[in-house]
A = this chain, B = another copy of it.
Amino acid sequence: MPAKRPPVPLSRERIIDAALHLADAQGLRRLTMRRLGDALEVEAMAIYHHMPGGKEALLDALAQHVTTVSVEAGERAAWQDIAALWCRAARAALLAHPGVLALAMTKPPRGSAAAAIREQTEQLREAGLAAPAEAVRAMRAYVFGSVAVELQHTGWADPTAPEPGPDPDGEAAFERGLSALLTGLGAADTTGAA
């Protein structure tokens, strides 16, 4: 008799996980407090107990989730290597949840996402980059734009497209552009590489 599981208590983390799943599977427009409640086997109103800000706070949390990345680099790593790791990690995090890309690109970075950006900037500065803030801005733009066109290209969120399969050209194009970007950032930076 598979009747009633022990009632796993609701939590902010479970809510966010379920919301990501729902947005990826059905799209952001179908992410609804009531449907989210159904997915969590709970009345929609229970969510507010763990998400004080309501739906707006939930969307903020989703944006932070797919936008908070960190890389640990070797002690004496070149800034180019750190930057490349960061861009790849950021791309992977966004591609993992295509349903919330619009939020990630649209909402200003807050909380953990803003902290990650600051940490990244500091890492690049310590690795010898003279203008790390500008570099991080350029890297964020590159990752956002690449992922957006890659997902458009795969037909994600396109009712016409047959299936959302991965884009083989996406990664190769990303790596080519990444090399060019890092070269350009090095040339623009007053100190040059270490």
Residues of chain A having any CB pair with chain B under 8 Å: 101-103, 105-109, 134, 137-138, 140-146, 148-149, 151-153, 155, 157-158, 160-161, 173, 176-177, 180-181, 183-184, 187-188
A108–B141 CB distance below 8 A? no
Residue of B138, B145, B176 near A143 (CB, 8 A) is B145
Partner of A101, one of B106, B173, B177, B187: B106
Across the interface, which residues of B come within 8 angstroms of A140, CB to CB?
145, 149
Partner of A108, one of B138, B142, B157, B183: B157
Q: Considering the chains assembled together, what is the distance between the CA atoms of A119 and B137 in angstroms?
A: 31
Are A180 and B180 closer than 8 Å at their CB atoms? Answer: yes
| A133 CA / B141 CA spacing, docked (Å) | 21
Choose among B105, B149, B157 the residue that contacts A137 (Cβ–Cβ < 8 A).
B149
Complex Cα spacing A149 to B109, Å: 10
A181 to B161, CA, bound (A): 30
User: B148 to A141, Cβ gap below 8 A?
Assistant: yes
A144 to B143, CA, bound (A): 10
Which chain B positions have C-beta within 8 A of A107? Answer: 152, 157-158
Question: Which among B108, B148, B176, B180 is the interface contact of A105 at CB below 8 angstroms?
Answer: B148
Excluding A102-B105, A145-B146, 12 further A-B contacts by CB distance (< 8 Å) are: A101-B105, A101-B106, A106-B151, A107-B158, A108-B152, A108-B157, A137-B149, A140-B145, A140-B149, A141-B149, A144-B144, A176-B188
Return A164 CB to nearest CB of chain B, in Å.
11
Q: Top 4 closest A-B pairs, CB basis?
A: A145-B145, A141-B145, A180-B184, A102-B102
Whether the pair A144, B137 counts as a contact (CB closer than 8 A) is no
Are A153 and B137 neighbours in the complex by a CB distance under 8 Å?
Answer: yes
A161 to B108, CA, bound (A): 10
